[in-house]
Amino acid sequence: MAQTERSGCPINLTLEQLGDRWSLIVIRDMMFGNRRSFGELLAHSEEGIATNILADRLKRLTAAGLLSRAPDPAHRQKSVYSLTEASIQLVPLLAHMGAWGRRHTPVSRELSVRAELLEKGGPPLWSAFMDELRHLHLAARRPPRSVFADFQSAYEKALARRARRSKP
Amino acid sequence: MAQTERSGCPINLTLEQLGDRWSLIVIRDMMFGNRRSFGELLAHSEEGIATNILADRLKRLTAAGLLSRAPDPAHRQKSVYSLTEASIQLVPLLAHMGAWGRRHTPVSRELSVRAELLEKGGPPLWSAFMDELRHLHLAARRPPRSVFADFQSAYEKALARRARRSKP
DNA sequence: GAATACCACTTGCATTTAGCAAGCGGAAAT
DNA sequence: ATTTCCGCTTGCTAAATGCAAGTGGTATTC
């Protein structure tokens, strides 16, 4: 989708930037899954993103200032992609998408736990998460608590609960 | 975009429902512009939606339970489209899209005033607006204040301010 | 050093979606 | 009867997505 600026409405302009099938999925995976390289994003894509689409989106989002890219100091073939302040500020938007989706679409329980926590935690939790993302992606100071760790442990609990529930 | 349920993640499922170029634009126009017919949505489309896309989206959103359609009692050729509870619950999402767009995209001042009010008003204002939309679209009780009227007058003030500013 | 594996894409082709504008058929107005 | 209105539909082109093989450079293994 070309950047066409069909109108100056903020909702429209946000959609022109992010309103395709895959951009927010890439940002979600970096944000919640801490995927930072092409290979990680590809290998762990729940939705099965194609290589050409992933390459295209990483390039576009980087050009638009929503991601940044640096060489991986540990491995010369790889780049490390990071969120920028602009993409970190999408946390409330993604939280609302998660909340709406939990209510109106047939979500899987395990993949919903983060959305549930974000909804329950509200704006204070979102701010804490954004601070943590600034630490992980922008070299900001480490915040006192890890929202990320909360998400992970809730997800693992949900997986364990499911494994227990599916016992014969 | 076919409904493929590539994963059970709520963000992904929300995107599968609404993550195309036009669905949220149609919902926005119904919500904020009170456009209720095919002809109105077409004639007042700031972004110039094409007739085949509009027809397709109205059909899809209706089938998905995000819009409802009834014959227009005043005019036999027309239908009246209404938001449903599911689409009314998109207000916070659209509010956040507007807020993000105001910060990160080159918005026009006049078309941003609603987004600015929604951001300033926060969740209490969103709830009031949703109640008003339930009145307008779902025959719920009329709420005490009109958020809609606030939006309109702010928009008209911004237009007047622009007209005054462009005087030679 | 040669062979193999890894890495991030790129490519070629098919399918789907968006975009433009004329066209269609029925209803309403003149 | 003719013209206009109304909500689409259609035919065609352009753009985006999707699949899977291919490419070229780097790193590791034998």
The integer distance in angstroms from the CA atom of A80 to the C1' atom of D22 is 25
Residue B167: band (very low, low, confident or very high) from pLDDT cuts 50, 70, 90: low
Last-in-domain residue among B64, B83, B102: B83
Q: Which chain B positions have a beta carbon within 8 Å of A93's beta carbon? A: 93, 96-97, 100
Q: Which domain holds residue B72?
A: 1-83
- Same domain membership, residue B54 and residue B22: yes
Closest Cβ–Cβ partner in A21, A86, A107 for B10:
A107
% of chain B beyond a pLDDT of 90: 89
* Contact check, Cβ <8 Å, B96/A92: yes
- Same domain membership, residue A98 and residue A64: no
- Same domain membership, residue A77 and residue A9: yes
- Same domain membership, residue A79 and residue A7: yes
The confidence score (pLDDT) of residue A93 equals 98
- Same domain membership, residue A54 and residue A123: no
Backbone angles phi, psi at B70, to 5 degrees: -140, 155
**Alpha-carbon span A97 to A91, nearest angstrom:** 10
Residue A73 pLDDT greater than 90, yes or no: no
ipTM (interface predicted TM): 0.94
| Residue nearest the C1' of C8 (CA based) | A38
Residue A168 pLDDT greater than 60, yes or no: no
- Same domain membership, residue A103 and residue A45: no
| Residue nearest the C1' of C27 (CA based) | B77
Task: Report pLDDT digits (tens) over A92-143.
Answer: 999 999 999 999 999 999 999 999 999 999 999 999 999 999 999 999 999 9
Find where tokens 């951001």 sit: B119
Would an 8 Å CB–CB cutoff place B140 in contact with chain A?
Answer: no
The confidence score (pLDDT) of residue B168 equals 54
**What separation in angstroms does the CA of B96 have from each of A8, A21, A42, A142, B123?**
16, 19, 29, 26, 11
Specify the number of domains making up chain B.
Answer: 2
* Average pLDDT of span A23-51: 96
